[in-house]
Amino acid sequence: QQHELQIAIDGPAGAGKSTIAKIVAQRLNLFYVDTGAMYRAIAYKVLKNGIPLEDELGVNELVKTTEVVLDHSKEQTVWCDGENITQAIRNPEISRAVSIVAAYSGVRKRLVELQRLEAARGGVVMDGRDIGTHVLPEADVKIYLTASPEERSRRRWIELKNSGKDISLAEVHQDMQKRDRQDTEREVSPLEPAPDAVILDTTGLSVEVIVEKILALA
Ligand code: CDP
Ligand code: CDP
């Protein structure tokens, strides 16, 4: 069965997935699907509704009535039940909550359905944690992007500072280490390279160099 080009990009936080996926999608004229934004949207809704993060049944129930929409125009707007949450989901508070709700099977089942629907619309570059291993196992190109923990934390810290968030590098580093641990140790679709993924370590490398490598593979 034929399908349009699918590029799966997985890896830990701050590896450069979304930056690179966006550019690759533009160059190849594919949709860009940020699956992390979907999990962040659920974390946002859970916190907003005052549901305890540990309440798995409550969270799984909430997901069923939550509408998450990714707008694929250049601005990449994220909508949750009609609210524009593009900026709000980049908050450190959401980053701390998201890996807890992302471990719940009800949450993953629903979001994976949505992600596969997105891929059915046409060629995609999709980034996340389980795209090559679970969401799009038939993807044409699978990339596992990584970088040293220090560099990943520093990248995210600079981003947060530039958007006016007052947070220390040590705190960002600690949050990120914890989230990576939660993502790799969870039971359902943990973060791990697909057996057929190309592993790219981006430590000390520019965005452009990585983009060119992926375009060459595609
Ligand atoms: O951009 P960053 O790497 O900080 O994270 P993200 O891609 O926005 O993903 C946020 C969180 O969502 C991750 O830490 C995972 O807990 C979860 N996630 C997931 O479980 N599966 C995916 N396919 C994408 C994200
Ligand atoms: O999506 P993910 O969490 O994997 O990473 P990102 O949000 O795309 O990248 C985090 C930051 O690192 C961004 O500000 C990128 O511009 C920067 N970056 C970099 O400096 N060098 C790279 N090779 C890749 C990303």
- Is 35 near ligand 1, meaning CB less than 6 Å away? yes
Residue 60 has which token pair? 């799984």
In ligand 1, which atom is closest to the CA atom of 131? 23
Name residue 127's beta-bridge partners: 9, 34
Residue 13 has which token pair? 């936080």
Residue pair 203/147 in contact (Cβ under 8 Å)? The answer is: yes
| pLDDT for 73 | 81
Q: How far is CA 73 from the centre of its chain?
A: 18
| Residue 2 pLDDT class (50, 70, 90 cuts) | low
Residue owning tokens 């980049």:
90
| Residue 133 pLDDT class (50, 70, 90 cuts) | very high
- Is 98 near ligand 1, meaning CB less than 6 Å away? yes
Whether 126 has a pLDDT exceeding 50, the answer reads yes
Whether 185 has a pLDDT exceeding 50, the answer reads yes
| Residue 3 pLDDT class (50, 70, 90 cuts) | low
Residue pair 111/35 in contact (Cβ under 8 Å)? The answer is: yes
In sequence order, which residues have a C-beta less than 8 Å from that of residue 160 and are 6 or more positions away? 90, 92, 167, 172
Residue 15 Ramachandran class (φ > 0 left, ψ -120 to 50 alpha, else beta): alpha
Residue 117 Ramachandran class (φ > 0 left, ψ -120 to 50 alpha, else beta): alpha
Among 61, 56, 145, which residue's Cα sits nearest to residue 103? 56
Per-residue pLDDT of 18-64, as tens digits, reads 999 999 999 999 999 999 999 999 999 999 999 999 999 999 999 99
Residue 199 one-letter amino acid: I
Whether 12 has a pLDDT exceeding 80, the answer reads yes
In ligand 1, which atom is closest to the CA atom of 176? 4
Q: Give the ligand whose atoms come closest to the C-alpha of residue 159.
A: 2
| pLDDT for 75 | 79
Per-residue pLDDT of 65-99, as tens digits, reads 999 999 988 778 999 999 999 999 999 999 999 99
| pLDDT for 45 | 98
Residue pair 79/71 in contact (Cβ under 8 Å)? The answer is: yes
pTM beyond 0.95: yes
ipTM above 0.90, yes or no: yes
In ligand 1, which atom is closest to the CA atom of 43? 12
| pLDDT for 1 | 44
Name residue 146's beta-bridge partners: 201
In order of 100, 105, 110, 166, the CA distances from 180 in angstroms are 11, 18, 22, 22
